[in-house]
């Protein structure tokens, strides 16, 4: 059978993917509000926050990788019904989470200008971006613990709490953005510093809600402090073997994305601002794509943990078909809304024209991204094939997209849209390779142990 005809499968996909998609939509709204409010102050403020957030982006991707690598094991152990092993995995995950986040806080607090200078030589942007980083870094640790916890809860099909967390975050962020960016209710008008303060307050609110849920309401994992104090050597070995490729994957991918941002940043402040606007649109149209990806990893992992390997392959083919359809819909939405989106921003005509060109390129690339994201991050990782994902995801970015992007931008001096297409071209190659891997069936791996 090419694709699944089970109604229960589609209901399960929807029950997991929809809350995650709504969560992503809320996160998109937060980013949209930030860029719109800062965009009303001009390119300098918008670019400073956009570049400053590149450090957070790397942290976010690493936390996604850390939790994603943990999820590979947790989803399979959950399918097997072994909660004690899940406790042991979480003890390792939280330790790694705190260590990694501490490094990023140090960069933001002590050498922010060094980081900002990687992306721009504009003195005004460097100064504003450094101020933004020093403040916003306070929220990094709250974000990291909250995000890892929410992603782990997804592995055991607890997803609705994320809606409460991020809805609250949206309200807190939007309100305090308004207060501190523009100086309302007697507060000083702090501009980009105000956006950073609002972000920190939102992160703290998220953390408080998640901790209250875990302590008083969560009843599947039943995690206690005592579970986090011990390290199991057998689980540690499996954890390192399966999480290291994922974490390394995300580190290299985020570093590659940073290199791409450097290319874009060196093309001018207008291009940075235009790319920020284009990214908002991309984040909007992919909320359901990433929702499906997260749901896929959970379902594939649970199914393999239950010992139903052939059913997992059937589900994987179905996800591939759904991914293409979602990619086509996302492309259509971008084409429809792109002329209207730029009018929300108080930026120059040049910035608006560049943003429209970047969105046109994105409408092509997103079709392949949808397929690649769901097959690599959903099917292959959920199936325990993290090493293949590492190779496929990284080799084409670093061997094809980044070198050719530098050549196109600084040697051939191609137009911005053409450079943007080149730096995103690896998405096309990766999606094709992923299809071949999924159809081969070699990705199905049960990673659990019998401890009984």
- The answer as to whether 445 is a domain residue is no
- The answer as to whether 427 is a domain residue is yes
Query: How many C-beta atoms lie closer than 10 Å to residue 14's C-beta?
Result: 14
Instruction: Compute the radius of gyration of the chain from its Cα atoms.
Output: 21
- The answer as to whether 405 is a domain residue is yes
- The answer as to whether 1 is a domain residue is no
At 21 the pLDDT is 85
298 vs 378: CA distance, rounded Å: 8
Give the dihedral sign, CA 313/317/318/323: positive
Residue reference for tokens 């791409």 = 260
pTM above 0.85, yes or no: no
CA distances from 343 to 235, 346, 355 (A): 53, 8, 11
Residue 181 φ then ψ, to 5°: -70, -45
317 vs 227: CA distance, rounded Å: 38
200 vs 178: CA distance, rounded Å: 14
347 vs 370: CA distance, rounded Å: 30
CA distances from 307 to 76, 152, 288, 290, 389 (A): 10, 21, 28, 26, 22
At 451 the pLDDT is 66
Q: Would you say how long the chain is, in residues?
A: 452
Residue reference for tokens 């980013």 = 31
- The answer as to whether 446 is a domain residue is no
Return the H-helix or E-strand segment holding 173.
helix 161-182
Would you write out the chain's pLDDT as a tens digit for each of its 452 residues? 577 888 888 998 988 888 888 877 887 777 677 777 777 777 788 888 888 888 888 888 888 889 888 988 999 999 888 999 999 999 999 999 999 999 999 999 999 999 998 888 889 888 988 998 999 999 999 999 999 999 899 888 888 898 899 899 989 999 999 999 899 999 998 988 898 899 999 999 999 999 999 999 998 998 888 988 888 889 999 999 888 888 888 888 878 887 887 888 788 888 888 888 888 889 889 988 988 998 999 899 999 988 899 999 999 999 999 999 999 999 999 999 998 988 888 788 898 999 999 999 999 999 999 999 999 999 999 998 989 999 998 899 999 999 999 999 999 999 999 999 999 999 999 999 999 999 999 999 888 887 65
258 vs 385: CA distance, rounded Å: 26
At 253 the pLDDT is 83
- The answer as to whether 124 is a domain residue is yes
At 5 the pLDDT is 83
For residue 108, the enclosing domain spans 7-440
- The answer as to whether 39 is a domain residue is yes
- The answer as to whether 449 is a domain residue is no
28 vs 189: CA distance, rounded Å: 24
162 vs 167: CA distance, rounded Å: 8
Tally of structural domains, the chain: 1
DSSP 8-state secondary structure symbol assigned to residue 407: I
């Amino acid at each position: 059978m090419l694709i699944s005809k089970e109604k229960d499968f589609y209901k399960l996909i929807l029950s997991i993917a929809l809350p995650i998609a709504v969560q992503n939509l809320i996160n998109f709204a937060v980013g949209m509000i930030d860029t719109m409010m800062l965009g009303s102050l001009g390119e300098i403020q918008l670019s400073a926050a956009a570049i400053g957030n590149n450090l957070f982006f790397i942290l976010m991707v690493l936390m996604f990788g850390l939790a994603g690598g943990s999820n590979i094991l947790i989803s399979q152990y959950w399918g097997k019904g072994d909660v004690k092993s899940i406790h042991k995995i979480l003890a390792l995950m939280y330790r790694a989470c705190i260590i990694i986040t501490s490094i990023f806080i140090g960069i933001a607090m002590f050498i922010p200008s060094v980081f900002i200078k990687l992306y721009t030589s504009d003195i005004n942007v460097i100064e504003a971006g450094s101020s933004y980083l020093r403040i916003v870094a306070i929220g990094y640790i709250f974000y990291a613990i909250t995000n890892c916890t929410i992603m782990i809860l997804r592995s055991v099909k607890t997803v609705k709490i994320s809606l409460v967390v991020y809805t609250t975050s949206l309200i807190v962020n939007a309100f305090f953005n308004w207060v501190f960016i523009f100086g309302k209710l007697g507060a000083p008008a702090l501009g980009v510093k105000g956006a950073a303060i609002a972000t920190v307050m939102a992160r703290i609110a998220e953390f408080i809600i998640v901790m209250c849920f875990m302590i008083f309401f969560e009843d599947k994992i039943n995690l206690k402090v005592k579970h986090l104090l011990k390290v199991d050597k057998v689980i540690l070995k499996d954890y390192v073997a399966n999480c290291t490729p994922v974490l390394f994957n995300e580190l290299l991918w985020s570093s590659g994305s940073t290199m791409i941002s450097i290319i874009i940043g060196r093309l001018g402040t207008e291009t940075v601002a235009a790319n920020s606007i284009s990214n908002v649109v991309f984040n909007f149209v992919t909320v359901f794509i990433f929702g499906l990806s997260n749901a896929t990893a959970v379902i594939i992992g649970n199914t393999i943990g239950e010992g139903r390997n052939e059913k997992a392959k059937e589900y994987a083919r179905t996800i591939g078909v759904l991914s293409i359809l979602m990619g086509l819909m996302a492309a259509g939405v971008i084409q429809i809304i792109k002329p209207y989106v730029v009018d929300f921003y108080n930026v120059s005509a040049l910035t608006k024209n560049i943003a429209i060109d970047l969105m046109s390129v994105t409408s092509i690339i997103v079709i392949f991204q949808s397929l690649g994201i769901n097959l690599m991050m959903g099917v292959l990782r959920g199936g325990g094939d993290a090493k293949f994902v590492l190779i496929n995801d990284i080799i084409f970015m670093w061997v094809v997209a980044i070198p050719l992007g530098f050549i196109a931008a600084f040697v051939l001096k191609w137009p911005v849209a053409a450079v943007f297409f080149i730096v995103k071209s690896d998405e096309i190659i990766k999606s094709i390779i992923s299809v071949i891997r999924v159809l081969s069936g070699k990705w199905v791996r049960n990673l659990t142990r019998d401890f009984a």
